[in-house]
Amino acid sequence: MNIKSDNRPIGVYDSGLGGLSVWRELHAKLPNESLTYLADGANCPYGGRPKEEIRRFADEAVGKLIADGAKMVVVACNTATAAAIDFLREKYSDTPIVGMEPAVKPAAMATRSGVVGVLATAGSLGGDLFLKTSARYADRTRFIAAVGEGFVEIVEQSQENTSEAEIVVRRVVEPLIEEGADQIVLGCTHYPFLRKVIERVIGDREVAIIDPAPAVARRVEQLLDQFELRADTNNKAQYAFQTFASDDYLKRLQDKALEIISR
Sites of contact with ligand DGL (CB under 6 A): 14-16, 18, 44-47, 77-79, 121, 124, 152, 188-190
Q: How far is the CB of 235 from ligand DGL (least distance, A)?
A: 29
Q: How many residues does the chain have?
A: 263
Nearer to ligand DGL, 15 or 111 (CB): 15
Q: How far is the CB of 67 from ligand DGL (least distance, A)?
A: 23
State the Cα–Cα distance between residues 140 and 5, nearest whole angstrom. Answer: 44
Helix (H) or strand (E) segment spanning residue 145: strand 142-147
Angstrom distances, CA of residue 212 to CA of 40, 78, 91, 164, 186: 21, 10, 26, 26, 7
Nearer to ligand DGL, 100 or 181 (CB): 100
Alpha helices in the chain (DSSP H): 20-29, 51-67, 78-91, 104-110, 122-125, 128-136, 151-156, 163-178, 195-202, 213-226, 247-262
Nearer to ligand DGL, 145 or 188 (CB): 188
Nearer to ligand DGL, 9 or 102 (CB): 102
Q: How far is the CB of 159 from ligand DGL (least distance, A)?
A: 15
Q: How far is the CB of 24 from ligand DGL (least distance, A)?
A: 14
Query: 239 exposed, middle or buried (CB, 10 Å; 0-12, 13-18, 19+)?
Result: middle
Pairing of strands 142-147, 183-186: unpaired
Active site (catalytic) residues: 77, 188
State the Cα–Cα distance between residues 220 and 76, nearest whole angstrom. Answer: 12
Q: How far is the CB of 22 from ligand DGL (least distance, A)?
A: 9
Nearer to ligand DGL, 168 or 231 (CB): 168
